Every structure is written in C-alpha cells, then in structure tokens.
Structure 1
Amino acid sequence: MSVVARQGIKYSIIGYLGTLLGIFSTFFIFTNDMAFYGKLRLILPAAEMLLPIVVFGLSFSNVKFFHQANQDGKHHNLLSLSLVGIILNFIIFVAAFFLVCEIFPSLKDSKSWEMKSIILPLILVLALSAVLNKYISNYKRIVIPNIFENIVPKIANIGAFCLFFYFMFSQRVAYSFFLGMFILTFFGYLIYANKLEKIKPDFSLDYIKQDQFWKLIISYSFFGFLGNIGNFLATRIDNIMIAEYIGYEANGIYSTVLSIVTIINIPQMGLFNISAPIINKTIAEGDYKELDRFYKKTSLTLFFLGLVLFSCILVGFPYLTDLIKNGALLKEAEPVVWILGSAFIFDLATGFNSHIISLSKYYRFNIIVMLILAALTIGLNLVFIKYTNLNLIGVAIATAISLTIFNLIKIIFNYQKFKVFPLSMEMLYALVLSFIAITVAIITPNFSNSLLNLFLKPSIVLVILMIGNHFLKIYPLDKYLNKDFFRSLTKFK
C-alpha cells in the first residue's frame, strides 16, 4: 500500500473520530453551560478570522515553492524566513490592533477586546502552526497534522469547559488550558517536522533575492491571503457577531445547533482527496463531457447521503433535546436546524464546484467569490441582527442566503466555462421522497418516552427512503454497500 493510500485511510479514521468526539461533547458536555460554551466559541473563531492577516499566505507559499526550493537545497531557508515573516507580521498586527482601538474607543466595549489576552497570543501560535502544517504536507504526511487540526481543538474546548464547569476552576485557568493546548500543538508540529527531516535554520536573504524570487513569493502569498481571509470571514463571522450583538448564551446555542446540523457534511470527508486527481485530469485533457458526468455523480452522492442524514436529524431533533441538559433552549432554536440544514443540503447538491474552479486556470475567481460571500454574510447578519427581532433565526437566514448565492454564482460560472451542471432529476425525486418520509415520521403517533421516539422517527425515515430508493433507483446503494465507497463512486454509470 502506498504512502498516500495509508495516509488517506488514517486521515479518514482520524476525521471520523474527531466528528464522534465533537458530537459527544456537543450533546453531553457543552449543553451544561451554554454561556461559557459561547465564550469558548468566540475565542477560536475570532483568532481564526484574524489569522490570515498575520499568515499573509506564507503557509501556501511553502507548498507552492517547496519543490523548487528543495531542488536548490533552500527549502529550510524558505521555511525559516516564513516563520520570521509571521513574527514580524504579528508585531505589526498587534501595534495596528491597539492603535485602531485607541482611535475608535468604542471597540474596547466589544467582547473580542475583553478576550484579547487570549485571542492575540492564539493568533501567533496558530499562524506559526499553519506554516509548519503546510510544510509537513510536502512530505505527504497528513495524519499527524490532522490530529493537531481536528482532535486538539476539541480537546482544548472539552478540557477548558470541564475545568470550569466540573472542577470549579476560574475562567482564567480554563482559558490558559485552552491556549496551552495550541502551544503544545505548535511544538508538536515543530518536533514532527524535524523528525521527517532535521530542520536547519537558515535566515539568509540571498536565495530569495535571486531573480527577485521574493516578488513571486509575495504575489502568490497575497492571493492566498485574499482567499483565506474570505474563507475565514465567511465561516467564522457568525460566532463573533452572535457573541457581540446577542450574547454568549445565544452563541453557545447556535454553536451546538450548528454542530448537529454539520453532521450532514460527513459524506464529504475524504471524498475530495480521491476526486481531485480525476477532476484535475479531465480539466487538463479538456474532457468536459466526462467532467460533467463525474460532477453530477459526485453531487448526487453527496446530496443523497446528506439528505438521508438531514431527514433523520429533522425528525429526531425535538426528542434529542428532551434528553440533554438545557434542551429547551435548543428546542427553541429548531427553526435554525431547518434553515441551515436546507442551505447545507443545497451546498452538497452543488458538489465540488469550488474545486473545479480552483483546479483550472480560473482559480483566481474562487478568491473573488469567497470575498463576495464574506461581504454578503457580514452585511446580511448585520441587517437581520440589528433591524429584526429574529435573533438566531435571522443569523441562520443570513447564512443560508449568502451560501446559496455563493453556490449559484459558481454553478453559473462552471456552466459557462466548462458546460458542466451538478443538479439532476434524481435529486428532485430524492427531495419528494424525503418530504414524504419526514411527513410520515412526524404524523406517526409518539411514544411517551423520548428515547424511543428518538429511535423510532429516524427509523421510519430510513425505511421509507430505502424502499423508495429501491423502486425509484435514485442512488445505487447496492453498489455503495457492496463495494468500497470510493471505488464504487468512480465506477458506477
């Protein structure tokens, strides 16, 4: 078995373990104190949203130019200067941060300012780790970095929460543990990178001065910066705006609901790693007919499996809230499940639209669209939070609208450039079948025991979907169940 295959299998296992850990902690730990969980859910998103400013795309440059620098024996020089660049960027960023807050004193009333003593050092640690993460990927090693990325943040959240809630330590101690886990992660990256190949620090500027190589690095890093900041703004801003304008408890509720809804994205795990070479090959060969076939196939796969999970979540959610502490608060947020879930289902239906663009010569378009998404998300959130009384429902609507527009733009772009389209009639059949299954499950009489209902309702949905799929032939589950998933995905017609 090749290194890539072994790493891919281990990567998927770690990913699923991380998902299970997240689900367990969401249901049985964080719901005990939504307000403190809301505080924890402000720290990391706030740091990640500002992170691209400090990284400035240098992490991506350590992938893009690694081969060239390695051939010249200067890859350690590139890494060393990148880490120095991160530190210099951080110093400038911190100075600018405090200067802006002095110019606009109202910013000191924000929740982010209140948390600055942990958010700022966390940004530096995450920035240095980001460079080492990408550097390690050049050695085709993704498992250990995946543990650091996927498992450690969950342990940091769980550990900090348990210290505060169960062991009665102060919030300062809990926050210190939280930050400490990421500091340990940075040293873990450093030790692992050094184990792969002994790092020889080299801070000479001679190499990057040759043929003005530094200009090429800065240019590429800038595009990476734009794409990265757009992505983090679009995906992390919800938590920050909820904490700032609605409150910590609301942020904890929203984060819990979001963790439940994102379960429908599980089918995506690992799928891009196996699909990327196929997408790249068809684009390189100009075989857009094959690209369209594969695009529809993967989109249907993601959509159908995500729809099955979403339908089960919808009918089981009310009974799940009866079984966990502070479930009444979550039950009030049930519309958020429907709104966000519907947007995520459409996102799955559009398949790997971003990846098609990023693997083509039009990769810069992804940056533009991501910045549009970020602006839409921020603008719509402000409108719904400030000018309506919808609170979390308004945030969910804002996110759903921006994500849907984001995907529609990419669908149109891909159709114009490659004549490919992800949606199919099978998806419509699946939607109708799902509607019937959900309706039947809802109107089925309840048991007096919520735990029994939690098993009964999703079971009804699964039975109806499986029987309906058998007769309508929407998705070839027989091939999915009888063969390795990724092999069946690329083989069935």
Structure 2
Amino acid sequence: MKQIAKQSILTTLSSYLGVLIGYFNVLWLLPYALQPEEIGIFRTIQDMGLLFVPFAQLGVGNGITRFYPKVKEYQFSFFTFSLILSLIGFLIVMSLFFIFRDLIVQAFAKNSPEIIDFLGVVLMITLFSVLNTILDSFCRSFLKVAVPAFFREVILRLLSAILVLIYLVKWIDFPQLMWGLAMIYLLALVGMIAYMVHIKLFRLKFDFSIFPKGFIRDFMRFNLITLLGTTGAMLIMKIDSLMVTSMIGLDANAIYTIGFSIAVVIEMPRRAISQVVMPLVSEHFENNRLKEINRLYKQVAVHQLLICSFIFLAIWTNIDSLYHFVPNNQVYELGKWVVLWIGLGKLTDVLFSINSEIIVFSKYYVFNITATMIMSVAVILFNLILIPLMGIEGAAIASFLAMFLFNLIKYLYVKKRLSFDPFSWDILKIILLGCLIWLVHYLSSEVIEKGIYSIIVSLAGLILLYLGGVLVLNIASDSRKKILRKIKEARS
C-alpha cells in the first residue's frame, strides 16, 4: 500500500486543486457568465464528445495496462501500435457519426435545436480526448500518474475558466467560445506530449513484427471486450445529461449539470486510487498472486469509503449554503436532490471497491460484455421511465439505480469466480458512522443561518464527529498504527 498511497496522494492533490477550480467554474463563473441555455449547450457538447471516447478508443487504454508487462522490451512499438489503433477507432466513430447524423439531429431538434450548430466540436473533443487517454494509459504503466492527472484535472479546468472569462469580457462571441472548447482539449494533448518527450516516454517505432506470436490477436480481443465495460461506465456518467437535454431542454440540463458537478467530487479519491491500483492488479494477476489482490480489494474498500463518505457528508450537510453562493441560485437550487442521488451513486462505486479493475485484468474479462449490456439497457430504461415522471431528479435516481445494479452484478461475479470479497466490519462501521452523523445534521440543520459561517461551523463539527467516530469504532486500526509509528520515527 506504500506505493499506492504515495502516488494516490500526489494524484489526489491534483484532483482537489482541479476541484477548487471546477467548483469556481460550475458554482459561480458559468452561472454568472452564461445563461442557463448556454450552460446547457456548453456541457452537452462536452458530454457528447466524451461519451464517444471509449468507443473511439476501442478499449486500448485498459489493454495497455493489461499487456504492457508482456512487452516491456518492445514498449515503443507497443505505444505506436496503440496510437494507430485509437486513430482507426476515431475514424470509425466519425464515419458512424456522419451516417447517423440525421438521427442525432432529430433527437435534439425539438427541445434543444441549438446543439446542432456545434456537432463539429463534438468530434474534435473526441479526437483529442482519445489520444490523451492513450498517453495517460502509457504513463500509468510506468506509475507516472501525477502529471497526467494534473493535465486532466487542473489544466483542462483552468483553461475552461480562462475561456469563459474571455467570453465574459466580450472578446469572443458564443460560437467562438464553443470552438475554443475544442482547442482546450488540444492544448492539454500538446502538454501531455511535451511531458512524455521530456521524460523520454514518447517515441514512435513502427516495427510491429517483433511482438510475440499471437500477441496482436490477444491484445485486440481483450480491447474489444473491455471496450464494452469502459463504455458502460461512461454511459452512466454522460447519458443522463444528454437525455435530460433531449427530453426536457437546455435549461434543465444546466440545473442538472451543476448538481452533478457538485456530487462528482465525492469519487475523486477513488479515481486517484484506481489509477495506481490498475497496474498493480495487472501485475498480481500476471504472477498469480491472488491473495495479494484480495487483500488489496479489502484495503482499498475501507480506505476509499472512509475518505469518500466524509466528502459526501461535507457536501450534503452544507448543500443549502453551497447553493446560496451560486449566481441566480433560485434557478439552480432545484438541482439539490440531484446532488444527493448522484452522491449516493458515487458512494456505491466506492463501496464495491476495485471490482471493475479485478474483472478487467482477470481471465474472466469477457464478463464485461454481460455486465455492460445489462447496465446499458438499465440506465436507458430507467431514464426513459423516470425523467417524464420526476424530471431531473428522475435522471439522478436513474443513474443511482444503474450504478448500484452494475456494481452489485460485478461484486457477485467476482465473489463467485475468484472468492474475493471487499467487505469487512470496518465497512459496516463506516456506514453506521455516516448514518449517525447524517441524523445529527438533520436534527440541527435549522439552527444556523445558511452562509459561510454555517459552512465553517458545520465542517468543524463534522471533522470532530467523524474523527471521534473513527477512533471510538476503531476503524482502519492497522493504517492508523502505521501512521503513528511513522510519526514517532520522524520525531526520533
């Protein structure tokens, strides 16, 4: 866990710096600088472009992590081959996009016709994001995750803020703002290439004949199967936003987007941990160290739930105060319940630990097809049923139900096939602690007027209750003992 902890901390620091910038963007800058329908366009185009990424990537990102240990000595040929595959994948997606363009236009023509003017931006975002994902995956194989995370979490958000500020002072018009959105992803890609050149990880080598016999076949087969698992996760992340835009309108998506963006911060530690855990899980499977994987499964479950539950409570106990500072908050505070349901969905991902990573890098990775088909059908059906009944809250509940179902199916499969289980008494203690703190908040929520003072008092009380509960319930005792031992060693 030492290696994981070090890399996760560096990645998490980038993630939370990005969160600060992102919160400024979402909770103040966008509502201040843009009209609700403009926010809807801005986020819908981004979501559509990113939704196409896993399809265009052809599963190569996970394939790099899985197969890199087998071809370390041919790493730059492997890198070049992966880039070529992703470009082929993008060309396929672009061709399908133009073939079905009329259907896409029809989906948005009634409630959100403005989207149609910027479909070209969608393809540019997809292309630059696909290439960036391949570079990110290659860096991850070397456990170089901090700088890619900095570009992904900080640079993109910072450039977005600068772009919107330029629009705010009227140096550009709205169409130029939207095309500038694509240029942001290009700049991030150029930055990643420069970083990899600097650390001597970017080199093109077109000699593919040196791969072991059968390698390309196995690599392609794995990529195409895991493609479905990757697209499943992205569907949950993006399809609700697109369906809200299509079925309700751009204003509704603006409200939904802000609520979703507040909640998504809950999973940041899980994403940071996952970036580091993936190559380790792959290596353990390669060397048949199954006990190590099961131990990692349990450790990650406890530690990321401990962190993410605190973040969820910090957000939800201050949700009214957070919306208090949003410009035009009377419009956007309708998304409060979106925060709750998406937040609970993210906690579901956290609760079931690294089940996705275990399946992807095990010999049972074909199961991703079954799990993803079930999840894809479920998330679309849930949205079709719940959005007409409950509006944006229905979309959030649909996402929660889909995430829970997806994770439950994968957990049961991992338990049956590998006898791995992430759950322990510490998990139950964390859930109990969270419920008790939520009850305390509910009983005292009307005591202090909403605002910055309320946030300070609430966070101070939450920290005391949470840390006190962790000590009293003796949660993650092994990790606390290690930390205390290192502190003593540092003092001596």
Out of 175, 179, 190, the residue aligned to residue 172 of structure 1 is 175
Which blocks of at least 5 consecutive residues in structure 2 are unaligned?
488-492
Residue type at the aligned position of 2:150: I
What is the CA–CA distance in structure 1 between the aligned matches of 2:295 and 2:104, rounded to whole Å?
Answer: 54
Specify the alignment match of 2:490 in structure 1: none
Specify the alignment match of 2:232 in structure 1: 230
Higher mean C-alpha displacement, 274-283 vs 50-59: 274-283
Change beyond 3 A, Cα 1:410–1:98: closer
- Residues 39-50 of structure 1 aligned to structure 2 (within 5 Å): 39-50=41-52
Specify the alignment match of 2:443 in structure 1: 443
Checking the alignment, whether the CA contact within 8 Å between 1:152 and 1:182 is kept in structure 2 is: no
What is the CA–CA distance in structure 1 between the aligned matches of 2:82 and 2:295, rounded to whole Å?
Answer: 41
1:146 and 2:153 are equivalent in the alignment: no
Task: Report the alpha carbon displacement of residue 170 of structure 1 after superposing the two structures with TM.
Answer: 0.8
Task: Report the alpha carbon displacement of residue 274 of structure 1 after superposing the two structures with TM.
Answer: 5.8
Specify the alignment match of 1:459 in structure 2: 460
Checking the alignment, whether the CA contact within 8 Å between 1:4 and 1:140 is kept in structure 2 is: no
What is the CA–CA distance in structure 1 between the aligned matches of 2:71 and 2:415, rounded to whole Å?
Answer: 38
1:375 and 2:374 are equivalent in the alignment: no
Change beyond 3 A, Cα 1:94–1:341: closer
What is the CA–CA distance in structure 2 between the aligned matches of 1:282 and 1:351, rounded to whole Å?
Answer: 17
Specify the alignment match of 1:397 in structure 2: 397
Change beyond 3 A, Cα 1:484–1:380: farther
Q: Deviations over 1:40-99 (max 9, x none)?
A: 211222112112333323455555555666645xx5555445545544544443333222
Alignment length, in residue pairs? 478
Change beyond 3 A, Cα 1:120–1:360: closer
TM-score by length of 2: 0.83
1:256 and 2:231 are equivalent in the alignment: no
Task: Report the alpha carbon displacement of residue 322 of structure 1 after superposing the two structures with TM.
Answer: 1.7
Change beyond 3 A, Cα 1:264–1:251: same
Checking the alignment, whether the CA contact within 8 Å between 1:437 and 1:464 is kept in structure 2 is: yes
Residue type at the aligned position of 1:115: F
What is the CA–CA distance in structure 1 between the aligned matches of 2:92 and 2:475, rounded to whole Å?
Answer: 55
Task: Report the alpha carbon displacement of residue 9 of structure 1 after superposing the two structures with TM.
Answer: 5.5
Specify the alignment match of 2:29 in structure 1: 29
What is the CA–CA distance in structure 2 between the aligned matches of 1:3 and 1:321, rounded to whole Å?
Answer: 38
What is the CA–CA distance in structure 1 between the aligned matches of 2:298 and 2:93, rounded to whole Å?
Answer: 44
Query: Which structure's CA Rg is the greater one?
Result: 1
What is the CA–CA distance in structure 2 between the aligned matches of 1:348 and 1:326, rounded to whole Å?
Answer: 33
Change beyond 3 A, Cα 1:247–1:218: same
Q: Deviations over 1:314-348 (max 9, x none)?
A: 22111222222122234322222222222322332
Which blocks of at least 5 consecutive residues in structure 1 are unaligned?
486-493
Change beyond 3 A, Cα 1:261–1:483: farther
What is the CA–CA distance in structure 1 between the aligned matches of 2:61 and 2:222, rounded to whole Å?
Answer: 11
Checking the alignment, whether the CA contact within 8 Å between 2:108 and 2:245 is kept in structure 1 is: no
Percent of aligned pairs with the same residue? 20
Out of 306, 326, 329, the residue aligned to residue 331 of structure 2 is 329
Residue type at the aligned position of 1:246: I
Specify the alignment match of 1:113 in structure 2: 116
What is the CA–CA distance in structure 1 between the aligned matches of 2:84 and 2:426, rounded to whole Å?
Answer: 53
Residue type at the aligned position of 2:337: P
Task: Report the alpha carbon displacement of residue 426 of structure 1 after superposing the two structures with TM.
Answer: 4.4
What is the CA–CA distance in structure 2 between the aligned matches of 1:12 and 1:437, rounded to whole Å?
Answer: 25
Higher mean C-alpha displacement, 352-361 vs 40-49: 352-361
- Residues 274-293 of structure 1 aligned to structure 2 (within 5 Å): 277=280, 281=284, 288=291
Q: Deviations over 1:185-215 (max 9, x none)?
A: 233333344444486655577667x957654
TM-score by length of 1: 0.82
What is the CA–CA distance in structure 2 between the aligned matches of 1:429 and 1:199, rounded to whole Å?
Answer: 46
Change beyond 3 A, Cα 1:141–1:172: same
